[in-house]
Amino acid sequence: MGIFKIGIDRIYGRASAAEVSALKGEIEAANRMLHDGSGAGNDFLGWVGLPQEVTPECLKTIGDCARSLASLADVIVVIGIGGSYLGTKAVLEAMSDSFAPLHGKQDKPVLLFAGQNLSEDYMAELLAAVKPYRLATIVISKSGTTTEPAVAFRIIKKEIEERYGKAEAAKRIVAVTDAKRGALRTLAEREGYATFVIPDNVGGRYSVLTPVGLLPLAAAGVDVAELVRGAQDMAAATGVDVPFEENPAALYAAARTALYRKGCKIEILGSYDPKLLYVAEWWKQLYGESEGKDGKGIFPASVTLTADLHSMGQYIQQGERTLMETIVSIDRPKHEVRIESDPDNLDGLNYLSGKRIGEVNRMAEMGTMLAHVDGGVPNIRIELPELNEYYLGALLYFFEKACGMSGYALGVNPFDQPGVEAYKKNMFALLGKPGFEEQGEELRRRL
């Protein structure tokens, strides 16, 4: 058995086993292209071998910096957007106690996020919330020029400098950015901040296993060595030497590609544990930015279950039959809570007496899977034995690898995102950024 189970046999009502197997050559070729760099976007393939490159020395350097920040701060504001934000948020949420804020003072700093939106109220409330706490920041931007994190950093930097003075502030600010280029690199060097490099050949949405994710996660007390170990094992399990039938990422890529070709244009990633909500957000960015181009691509959507069975469940069961569903299932909950017998049984729940909530959740999951399959929604199942750093690291790399293969099978460059520029040009023009004057006038006329 592999690191975790992947089940694709419940897609066969829509795409047959033979149709999935017929993709073997195409998917294996795509995997080879990821390894030999012969495909589109081959200057962004650094993530393929990344897990193996995270040495104990790298982890030590990251750990030292994380410990130093943690010793200075109760709150670390992690500034970044897109790939410079979602991986950290995904792992943090998955690994955190859902009610940590109510457990009083923690021995690790709390991570708060900024620069992932332009909400004035969010920023005002964040500034107010951090006032009583010792503060530090990790600012993450590969390009070093993205507007949202740059705006947030200007504000947080001022807050830290006003509190501690410039010299002390420099110890509380760490920048993760390009080795040479970008405004953040220039600023960091001038101000003397500690810096970490995002390798040139690793794009934002594939960067969670670089200091982009590892530094803030280490500061928050996440076992990043285990995260990397999971990714390393998954890298080995999805290598070019692994037969198609045993390569989980190849099977997933083939299943979703076969379904897409059979008219399933939307993939819903679902989970029965709300801790995985941001894993789904990370996954949506990974697949959305990698595949959605040239008028093609599966639209990635997500649901958290059972909550969304009481909202999106209706559509999934009976709406347009353009959906496929991928469920990330967790076999063993961390904790045990049983439903006790009640002598009055007014709620009629005594038939559940003695059962764990996890068992009820599991039956909801099984029942829903069968209902959705019966309703014409093909189902892919990814089963993690438990939710810990190791399996999470394996899951993240699994999705990255499958995304690269799927993108090549789709015939797109999975490593660029030219469409992201359109909104930026309009925003700059409307805000009067020098150089955008003409477009600004034109856009204002249209508004």
To the query of whether residue 289 is one of the catalytic residues in this protein, the response is yes
Nearer to ligand PA5, 150 or 237 (CB): 150
Q: Tell me which of 5, 265, 284, 424 is the catalytic residue.
A: 424
Closest CA to 365 of 412, 325, 399: 325
| Three-class SS state of 202 | coil
Tell me: does residue 157 bind ligand PA5 (CB under 6 A): no
CA distance readout (Å), 402 to 30, 345, 353: 10, 48, 42
Nearer to ligand PA5, 289 or 325 (CB): 289
Q: Pick out residues in 203-262 that bind ligand PA5 (CB under 6 A).
A: 203-205
Nearer to ligand PA5, 2 or 292 (CB): 292
Nearer to ligand PA5, 150 or 258 (CB): 150
Q: Tell me which of 103, 105, 120, 310 is the catalytic residue.
A: 310
Nearer to ligand PA5, 82 or 211 (CB): 82
Least CB distance to ligand PA5 at residue 42 (A): 16
Tell me: does residue 417 bind ligand PA5 (CB under 6 A): yes
Tell me: does residue 142 bind ligand PA5 (CB under 6 A): yes
To the query of whether residue 335 is one of the catalytic residues in this protein, the response is no
Tell me: does residue 81 bind ligand PA5 (CB under 6 A): yes
Q: Tell me which of 19, 28, 289, 365 is the catalytic residue.
A: 289
87/428 Cα distance (integer angstroms): 27
Nearer to ligand PA5, 172 or 205 (CB): 205
State residue 77 phi and psi, 5-degree precision.
Answer: -90, 120
Tell me: does residue 82 bind ligand PA5 (CB under 6 A): yes
**Which member of 267, 289, 291, 325 binds ligand PA5 (CB under 6 A)?**
289
DSSP run (H or E) holding 177: strand 173-177
309/321 Cα distance (integer angstroms): 17
> Do the strands 323-332 and 110-114 form a parallel or antiparallel pair, or are they unpaired?
unpaired
Q: What are the structure tokens assigned to 47, written together?
A: 């993530």
To the query of whether residue 424 is one of the catalytic residues in this protein, the response is yes
CA distance readout (Å), 374 to 118, 241, 268, 342, 369: 43, 37, 16, 35, 8
State residue 6 phi and psi, 5-degree precision.
Answer: -125, 125
Q: What is the DSSP letter of 42?
A: G
Q: Which range of residues in 63-71, 96-104, 197-205, 326-334 is near ligand PA5 by CB under 6 A? A: 197-205
CA dihedral 146→148→150→154, nearest 10 degrees, is 170
Which residues pair with residue 383 across a beta bridge? 5, 329
Q: DSSP per residue over 211-229, as a string?
A: HHHHHHHHHTT--HHHHHH
Q: Which range of residues in 47-55, 136-144, 247-255, 383-391 is near ligand PA5 by CB under 6 A? A: 136-144
Q: Token pair 């941001």 is at which residue?
A: 278
| Three-class SS state of 326 | strand
Tell me: does residue 117 bind ligand PA5 (CB under 6 A): no
Tell me: does residue 141 bind ligand PA5 (CB under 6 A): yes
Q: Which range of residues in 131-139, 201-209, 230-238, 429-437 is near ligand PA5 by CB under 6 A? A: 201-209
Count of residues touching ligand PA5 (by CB under 6 A): 14
Residues labelled catalytic: 289, 310, 424
Residues that bind ligand PA5 (CB under 6 A): 81-84, 141-143, 146, 149, 203-205, 289, 417
